[in-house]
Chains A and B, each alone.
Chain A
Amino acid sequence: MATRQTQTLARSMLAPAVIVLFIWMIYPLLRTIYFSFMRYNLQRPETYGFTGWNNYYYLFLDGGFWPSIVNTLVLVVGVLLITVVGGILLGMLLDQPMFGQGIVRILVISPFFVMPPVAALVWKNMILSPSYGVAADIAKFIGISPVDWFAQFPLFSVIMIVAWQWLPFATLILLTALQSLDGEQKEAAEMDGAGFLSRFWYLTLPHLARSITVVILIQTIFLLGVYAEILVTTGGGPGYASTNLPYLIYKVASVGGDVGRGSAGGVIAVILANIVAIFLMRAVGKNLDK
């Protein structure tokens, strides 16, 4: 039985974390909402004042806003498709007995530990560069002209880099889930004459459903905030072709100095993230009850 003394102690042990996180959550958020209704430009601080919905109004009129929303969604969905489908296939491959499984696993998960600027610069320069990159070497070898990836397919190139970083995460989690699949069930299905596809569809996929949900939701949180990969490769261009919402906000607020409009963009980003968050909290919350 917990005594009153232990209860008090337990509470005071919990307090610092709660207080720190509470301040961290509430202060910047309130400031962002406040700034989003203010005329506040770092380059013209003397014009500071209340401006109502103007920041939102001009943000929506900004030529980059709607493209950036679309790009954000395309990037998230594109990376999710590649990593989830790739992760399931790769997980199933790695789940089978083979020689050197430990090393294969290490090689496959490695990209996840590469910091985003390194990943992006290595891909930009050494793999995809149209003049000296490995992709160009391969193209020349098979006799086609090299592609200038970041100029011709900017968003797709960014998707490729980000997918390369997140495929290991999806693979690792789905592999962990696959390994917990009951071997006897699989055998029974096999003996009953279930083919590979029906086993996959009726046994493996339902078993993976929860893990796939977790992968999708967690990746989405991180993918909504992709920034460094765009900063060091395309700089959001050409035009707005590879600008996502975080990058647009950065350009408006940090480069342009327009704190007000940047904050309005921030509020939009919060709303977008919250829609995803609600789903994630439900999925994780269920797990707690067990």
Chain B
Amino acid sequence: MARAVTTQHKVVVTAAAWAVALIIFFPILYTIITSFKSEQEAIQGFDLIPSFTFESYADVQSQYNYFKPFMNSVIISVGSTILALLIAVPAAWSMAFSPTRRTKDILMWMLSTKMMPAVAVLMPIYLLFRDFGLLDSRIGLTVMLMLINLPIVVWMLYTYFREIPGEILEAARMDGASLWNEIVYVLTPMAIPGIASTMLLNIILAWNEAFWTIRLTTTEAAPLTAFITSFSSPQGLFWAKLSAASTLAIAPILVMGWFSQKQLVRGLTFGAVK
């Protein structure tokens, strides 16, 4: 370091950054605080110190059966991610290691499917789901979320796989490894980190998807997005309970998100920014 950073400068930067960060984080922080208040307390004006009651958490479970939408969210987001990986891993693999003249076009075309506005195809999908009895079903929603995230999954995997050096493959082939052995013993161990990151990001995206999950479900298959939306009607307006339900809904994904910052940049920019 040629440029010395003065302590004074660092202190000023620290203060400014923390102030901005806390303002940005405040709505989340206040939600968490409010979730530990009683309903009475929650509307009694600004107060950062709750009475630390778990009343709202208990109520959310006993009155609204919170566990059900939570499990729906888990099943749908994990299920759609696994389904997407099953289809995307071979495809990304093939394009990364046996590229043809058309590979680039195929990738761009896959990306273009992501540009389709969801609302534009709402009615055909809704009617299709209705006719096949898929409305308000976890299977229907799982397939739906797999479809909308598949392009991102293929793209992310492709950018990861491309970083695996081709020489390794050649060396394995020279040693007489069959394609199957190549995949199992050479490529898979190198690809695991990329697949894991892709999986993490996709679960986050599926968990937070808030168009199809709301429009295609009513009660049985409703995940947390739809469940929380039901709190928008006036009779559902209980702040402490809303806060408890919200805290539970965002906590797991918040933690996963913190671990996947880098992958997030890469995944959501389709590898354009690393």
A residues sitting closer than 8 Å to B (CB atoms) are: 2, 5-7, 9-11, 13-14, 16-18, 20-21, 24-25, 27-29, 31-32, 35, 90, 93-94, 96-101, 103-127, 132, 134, 137-138, 164, 167-169, 172-173, 176-177, 187, 190, 210-211, 214, 218, 221, 224-225, 227-228, 231-233, 245-246, 249-250, 253-254, 259, 262-263, 265-267, 269-270, 272-274, 276-277, 280-281, 283-285, 287-288
Q: A177 vs B269: C-alpha distance in the bound complex, in angstroms?
A: 12
Residues of A with C-beta under 8 A to B215: 250, 254
Q: Is the CB of A25 within 8 A of B113?
A: yes
Q: Is the CB of B24 within 8 A of A262?
A: no
Residues of B with C-beta under 8 A to A11: 94
Residues of A with C-beta under 8 A to B124: 27-28, 31-32, 35, 263
Closest chain A residue to B47 by CB distance?
A: A137
With contact pairs A13-B90, A134-B46, A228-B225 given, residues A111 and B120 touching in the complex (Cβ less than 8 Å): no
Task: Scan residues 228-250 of chain B and give those whose CB is less than 8 A from a CB of chain A.
Answer: 228-229, 231-232, 237, 239, 242-243, 246, 249-250
| Cβ-based interface call for B18 (8 A) | yes
Q: Is the CB of A115 within 8 A of B228?
A: yes
Residues of B with C-beta under 8 A to A177: 273
Q: Is the CB of A288 within 8 A of B104?
A: yes
Min C-beta distance of B35 to chain A, whole Å:
11
Residues of A with C-beta under 8 A to B258: 106, 109-110
Selected interface stretch from B9-17, B54-62, B133-141, B186-194: B9-17
Min C-beta distance of A257 to chain B, whole Å:
10
With contact pairs A7-B98, A108-B24, A262-B123 given, residues A17 and B88 touching in the complex (Cβ less than 8 Å): yes
The B interface, classified by DSSP as helix, strand, loop or mixed, is helix
Q: Which of A167, A172, A173, A221 has a CB less than 8 Å from the CB of B115?
A: A221
Q: A246 vs B18: C-alpha distance in the bound complex, in angstroms?
A: 37
Q: Is the CB of B121 within 8 A of A281?
A: no
Q: Which of A94, A98, A228, A277 has a CB less than 8 Å from the CB of B210?
A: A228
Residues of B with C-beta under 8 A to A283: 272
Q: Is the CB of A29 within 8 A of B229?
A: no
A interface footprint on B95-135 (CB within 8 Å = 1, 0 otherwise): 10110100010111011111111111111111110000000
With contact pairs A14-B91, A249-B119, A263-B123 given, residues A6 and B239 touching in the complex (Cβ less than 8 Å): no
Closest chain B residue to A219 by CB distance?
A: B268
Min C-beta distance of A85 to chain B, whole Å:
14
Residues of B with C-beta under 8 A to A124: 232
Min C-beta distance of A195 to chain B, whole Å:
16
B residues sitting closer than 8 Å to A (CB atoms) are: 2-3, 5, 9-11, 13-14, 16-18, 20-22, 24-25, 27-28, 30-31, 34, 43, 45-46, 87-88, 90-91, 93-95, 97-98, 100, 104, 106-108, 110-128, 147, 150-151, 154, 179, 204, 207-208, 210-211, 214-215, 224-225, 228-229, 231-232, 237, 239, 242-243, 246, 249-250, 253-254, 256-258, 261-262, 264-265, 268-274
With contact pairs A90-B20, A107-B25, A115-B250 given, residues A121 and B232 touching in the complex (Cβ less than 8 Å): yes
Q: Is the CB of A137 within 8 A of B46?
A: yes
Residues of A with C-beta under 8 A to B5: 97
Closest chain B residue to A40 by CB distance?
A: B123
Residues of B with C-beta under 8 A to A190: 3
Residues of A with C-beta under 8 A to B98: 2, 6-7, 10
Extra contacts, 20 of them, besides A227-B119, A272-B117, A284-B111 (Cβ < 8 A), are A27-B124, A96-B9, A98-B14, A99-B14, A104-B18, A110-B258, A116-B210, A117-B228, A122-B242, A124-B232, A127-B27, A132-B43, A173-B265, A190-B3, A221-B115, A225-B211, A254-B215, A263-B124, A269-B117, A270-B117
With contact pairs A117-B229, A117-B232, A126-B31 given, residues A96 and B13 touching in the complex (Cβ less than 8 Å): yes
Min C-beta distance of B170 to chain A, whole Å:
9
Residues of B with C-beta under 8 A to A253: 122-123
Q: A74 vs B237: C-alpha distance in the bound complex, in angstroms?
A: 30
Q: A164 vs B268: C-alpha distance in the bound complex, in angstroms?
A: 18
